[in-house]
Structure 1
């Protein structure tokens, strides 16, 4: 039995090496997830919930696994100049790099203060939300040096910068929940200093302002293609996780008309998301971890089961600009965040727990 197990593992690692997935190295390979793409076209993992989504599905495209061996993949950002994707592996405290040309995944940078969200600014520089320890937003300059863009507000340290987006006027918007200082998994437990969990804006002049102050642990955020609306995930919505929509004022700063656009009523764990050129929202999805009120029998034990089964929820939900469900992309792992990339900006990268998956679609990222 041991010899069979060893042979199977050697075969799996050999397969990973052939695809470039074994380049992560070290103990992280313990989290490598075997994956077999669907053999049939169209891919049954792409489930159409509304006929209007059919134009976005490519008949002969299927979900692919492009990286594995991670502990918690997050914050993907695509860089068209180099044809690569950067993303965070938060518990391993590193930023990873997937190279489209070679198909390999390597460590881009270690000891990144548990970076969560990443983004590319309009000058092609990397913006990162250091989620713990330093608790700041930084920019990687062309020479590789880091510039600190924000680390405190009104004289008090930020909570745990999470997700980040850049507007066409070069302003930078980011969320500041508590996840990076709530425990020891995504950083180090620390005392909060901010009274609220805000959404912040860094102006082109470097001035930091709190633009939303009444959300409980805001998470993912994105603008509509015309930037007239800002969408923000609230982790602790009422009663479920939600995406709120705000009208952006003519000044490009002020927000009004707070409206609930999406309610994850099926126990979905809304996290990060991206918007395509048609205004559709492509949302990371999975179980929110809520438990049933009463235990059930499982092998003679009374167990509190999840309200929503992970195997039914893990993947990506796509919604129209009006919040109507259009499609579900089923994945073997919960998807935390996404990015559009590829030479034509039509390859959807999905950062999902231990792996990153990709799917070509007939949609293009708005930015």
Structure 2
């Protein structure tokens, strides 16, 4: 092991830790148990972060990456169990995704922009203004099938000094944007109270976006669905689900079209029709989740923790 490898090592290789005193998964529909068996149990992969968010599987490096926003690091869990620092001293990176070229794309609260890290570590700033004004604090990002990056832009990074830099909004609105790296164009797609998590249906024809304005005295604890047109325009929003308890921070859509969303109680799962299928309880408030290769494992971020739960592959 090199000096550099030792310096960024946070957890030695080894097996995960069991999570005691947590309820088993609860099915509201029999089909849930076919994917999340009742005997499935959470395991702890890491427990020394400060505020975990933004998990995504980075195939190019064969690691699960996630953000410790308040610790100002992007961390990487390796299949042998070790955890290493992927990016140190970050500008309060929150959401992450992987683009069509295998690069890791970040939402930066501190610099109020999107950025990109290539598999070889090369860093590039992507976009930081709309109509000549700085974004609020990009929060979550997803890559569409055509390579465009869709991202949410609430104001949490402007109001929470542990997660950004105190400032006022230059824009005066909280929006969802579409950034096309092919021509560097930016389109304002929708406005919400505090837009947060976002994900596409498997066929790309529906965009789901959460509004978490309940966190600041509003009533948003809702996942909305928008029809996506051939020209990438959005139709009228409709309520897909209202999340109780808590709110839908980050979420993912699987190949079945099921929505797996964070909540105060854990990961709640809904069918594509909006029917509640089940719950995976977590010991602390869940912030986000994502799938590993083949959707055989669910990774869950929750305060200082990175958890995992093995699923029954379809």
Q: Give the structure-1-normalised TM-score.
A: 0.77
Q: 1:212, 1:142 → 2: CA distance?
A: 32
- 1:299-341 deviation line (CA, Å, top 9, x unaligned): xxxxxxxxxxxxxx2x100011121111100111111111101
Q: Which runs of 5+ in 1 are unaligned?
A: 1-15, 22-34, 287-312
Residue from 219, 225, 233 that aligns with 1:245 = 225
The alignment status of 1:341 with 2:292, answered yes or no, reads: yes
Residue from 324, 344, 350 that aligns with 2:300 = 350
Residue from 152, 163, 171 that aligns with 1:175 = 152
Query: How much has 1:271 moved relative to structure 2?
Result: 0.3
Which residue of the partner structure matches residue 242 of structure 2?
Answer: 263
Q: Which runs of 5+ in 2 are unaligned?
A: 1-10
The alignment status of 1:223 with 2:197, answered yes or no, reads: no
Verify the 8 A CA contact 1:281 1:321 in the aligned structure 2.
Answer: yes
Question: Closer, same or farther in 2 for the Cα pair 1:48/1:202, shift >3 Å?
Answer: same
The alignment status of 1:117 with 2:106, answered yes or no, reads: no
Q: 1:174, 1:240 → 2: CA distance?
A: 18
The equivalences for 1:8-27 within 5 A come to: 19=14
Question: Closer, same or farther in 2 for the Cα pair 1:44/1:363, shift >3 Å?
Answer: farther
SS in structure 1 at match of 2:260:
strand
Q: 1:19, 1:186 → 2: CA distance?
A: 31
Which residue of the partner structure matches residue 362 of structure 1?
Answer: 312
Query: How much has 1:142 moved relative to structure 2?
Result: 4.0
The alignment status of 1:99 with 2:78, answered yes or no, reads: yes
Query: How much has 1:112 moved relative to structure 2?
Result: 1.3
Which residue of the partner structure matches residue 162 of structure 1?
Answer: 139
SS in structure 2 at match of 1:69:
coil
The alignment status of 1:79 with 2:48, answered yes or no, reads: no
SS in structure 2 at match of 1:285:
coil
- 1:157-214 deviation line (CA, Å, top 9, x unaligned): 110000000011001100000001112121221121012111010123221111112x
Verify the 8 A CA contact 2:245 2:263 in the aligned structure 1.
Answer: no
Verify the 8 A CA contact 1:118 1:126 in the aligned structure 2.
Answer: yes
Q: How many residues align?
A: 300
Q: 2:40, 2:177 → 1: CA distance?
A: 38
Residue from 236, 250, 257 that aligns with 1:272 = 250
Verify the 8 A CA contact 1:46 1:329 in the aligned structure 2.
Answer: yes
Verify the 8 A CA contact 1:317 1:327 in the aligned structure 2.
Answer: yes
Query: How much has 1:37 moved relative to structure 2?
Result: 3.5
Query: How much has 1:18 moved relative to structure 2?
Result: 7.2
Q: 2:220, 2:185 → 1: CA distance?
A: 33
Computed over aligned residues only, the root mean square deviation of the Cα atoms, in angstroms, reads 2.0
Query: How much has 1:61 moved relative to structure 2?
Result: 3.6
Q: 2:45, 2:162 → 1: CA distance?
A: 25
Which residue of the partner structure matches residue 308 of structure 1?
Answer: none
Which residue of the partner structure matches residue 254 of structure 1?
Answer: 233
Q: Give the structure-2-normalised TM-score.
A: 0.90
Verify the 8 A CA contact 2:241 2:274 in the aligned structure 1.
Answer: yes
Verify the 8 A CA contact 1:58 1:360 in the aligned structure 2.
Answer: no
SS in structure 2 at match of 1:180:
helix
Which residue of the partner structure matches residue 5 of structure 2?
Answer: none
SS in structure 2 at match of 1:245:
strand
The alignment status of 1:212 with 2:190, answered yes or no, reads: yes
Which residue of the partner structure matches residue 164 of structure 2?
Answer: 187
Query: How much has 1:226 moved relative to structure 2?
Result: 0.5
The equivalences for 1:303-342 within 5 A come to: 313=265, 315-342=266-293
